[in-house]
Amino acid sequence: QSVLTQPPSVSGAPGQRVTISCTGSSSNIGANSDVHWYQHLPGTAPKLLLYNNNNRPSGVPDRFSGSKSGSSASLAITGLQPEDEADYYCQSYDRSLGGAAFGGGTKVTV
Amino acid sequence: EVQLEQSGAEVKKPGESLRISCKGSGYNFASHWITWVRQMPGKGLEWMGRTDPHDSYASYNPSFQGHVAISADKSINTAYLQWSSLKASDTAIYYCARQSGTYWYFDLWGRGTLVTVSS
Closest chain A C-alpha to B9 CA, distance in angstroms: 12
Residue B76 has pLDDT above 90, yes or no: yes
* Mean pLDDT value across residues B57-74: 96
Q: Which residue of B has its CA nearest to A3?
A: B46
Q: Do the chains contact at A103 and B106, CB–CB below 8 Å?
A: no
What phi and psi, each to the nearest 5 degrees, are found at residue B76? -125, 20
pLDDT in tens, B84-98: 999 999 999 999 999
Residue A70: what residue type? Answer: G
Residue B56: what residue type? Answer: S
Q: What band does B101 get if pLDDT is binned at 50, 70 and 90?
A: confident
CB nearest to A102's CB, from B47, B100, B112: B47
pLDDT score at B30? 95
pLDDT in tens, A11-36: 999 999 999 999 999 999 999 999 99
The C-alpha atoms of residue B111 and residue A81 are separated, in whole angstroms, by 24
DSSP character at residue B76: G
Q: Do the chains contact at B110 and A100, CB–CB below 8 Å?
A: no
pLDDT in tens, A34-55: 999 999 998 899 999 999 999 9
pLDDT score at A42? 86
Q: What band does B115 get if pLDDT is binned at 50, 70 and 90?
A: very high
pLDDT score at B102? 82
The C-alpha atoms of residue A88 and residue A105 are separated, in whole angstroms, by 5
pLDDT score at A95? 96
Strand B10-12, strand B34-39: pairing: unpaired
Burial class of residue A48 (count of CB atoms within 10 Å of its CB; 0-12, 13-18, 19+): buried
Using alpha carbons only, give the angle B107, A34, A62 rounded to the nearest 5 degrees: 60
DSSP H or E run through A88: strand A86-94
| Residue closest to B8 by CA, chosen among B117, B107, B93 | B93
The C-alpha atoms of residue B9 and residue B17 are separated, in whole angstroms, by 14
Q: Which residues contact A58 (CB under 8 A, 6 or more apart)?
A: none
Residue B81 has pLDDT above 90, yes or no: yes
pLDDT score at A1? 82
pLDDT in tens, A55-106: 999 999 999 999 999 999 999 999 999 999 999 999 999 999 999 999 999 9
Q: Which residue of A has its CA nearest to B38?
A: A102
CB nearest to A52's CB, from B50, B103, B106: B103
